[in-house]
Amino acid sequence: MSKGAPAPFTVLIPARMASTRLPNKPLADIGGAPMVVRVAQQAARSAAQRCVVAADDERIVQACQQHGIHAILTRIDHASGSDRLAEACDQLGLSDAALVVNVQGDEPLIDPELIDAVVHELQGRHDCVMSTGAHRIAHMAEFMNPNVVKVVIDAQQTALYFSRAPMPWPRERMPADVSQATDAHLPQPAPLRHVGIYAYRAGFLRQFPRLSPAPLELTESLEQLRVLWHGERIAVHLTDRIPAGGVDTAADLLRVRLQWAASL
């Protein structure tokens, strides 16, 4: 994998107004600007040629334009963020070979170096249609938490499987009473937490919504399993930095506001 600057790429940020836990989430204020604007500003610190918000609501587009952020209006009926980004690729006229990074619209503290790193990972892996990130889990509570998605990889750092279940299962280390498990019982080498950032080639991103949903995807509620189910491969970049959390709830929003203020 090249260690120099990544190839030219575009960051796409899907943003939808409907959120059951945090209404109007993209427009939530963080330090005097809407959250989706903060995400784009943070992503622009990467080596991306451009950062574009793909919105489902004119209010998001207007808020972005007021802060000098490129935004486009996409259909409101997309089933997933991937579908929204596929439409964005067409609106932007991206070639099938173009590299695209999906940065979630609720990640205002996304690490710009992580964005560059997943592009590097995909550049060097022509056997893979996507790349993503992961970091090592150090605490048993995180390992056992179904809201923490785990990934196992092969010797080339290609994803073998993603799951909400704790994996790999440390059969010889785990006490008979799982409730008594401590950090010392974690498997070695350390299990990996999946980081929800994706780089694609635009051609595959266009193809993805046309792939039939996978039974495993529906069981785990993890869209990336569709890729593996259909025989494609995902490269995994390992990072030593624990990514800042996204914003799903009002408590998350307060935490991010405090972190943002502290970084000034």
- Pairwise CA distance, residues 236 & 54, whole Å: 25
What pTM was computed for the model? 0.92
Read off the pLDDT of each residue in 104-127 and give the average, rounded to a whole number: 95
Provide, rounded to the nearest whole percent, the portion of the chain with pLDDT above 70.
98
Averaged over 111-115, what is the pLDDT? 96
Cα separation, 118 vs 237, whole angstroms: 6
Query: Can you count the helices (H) and strands (E) in the chain?
Result: 9, 11
Is residue 81's pLDDT more than 50? Answer: yes
Q: How confident is the model at residue 228 (pLDDT cuts 50, 70, 90)?
A: very high
Q: Residue 226 has what pLDDT?
A: 95
The rounded distance, in Å, linking the Cα atoms of 60 and 49 is 22
For residue 145, pLDDT beyond 60: yes
Task: Give yes or no for residue 1 having a pLDDT over 50.
Answer: no
CATH number of 9-263: 3.90.550.10
Per-residue pLDDT, 4: 66
Query: In terms of C-beta density within 10 A (0-12 exposed, 13-18 middle, 19 or more buried), how is residue 68 classed?
Result: exposed
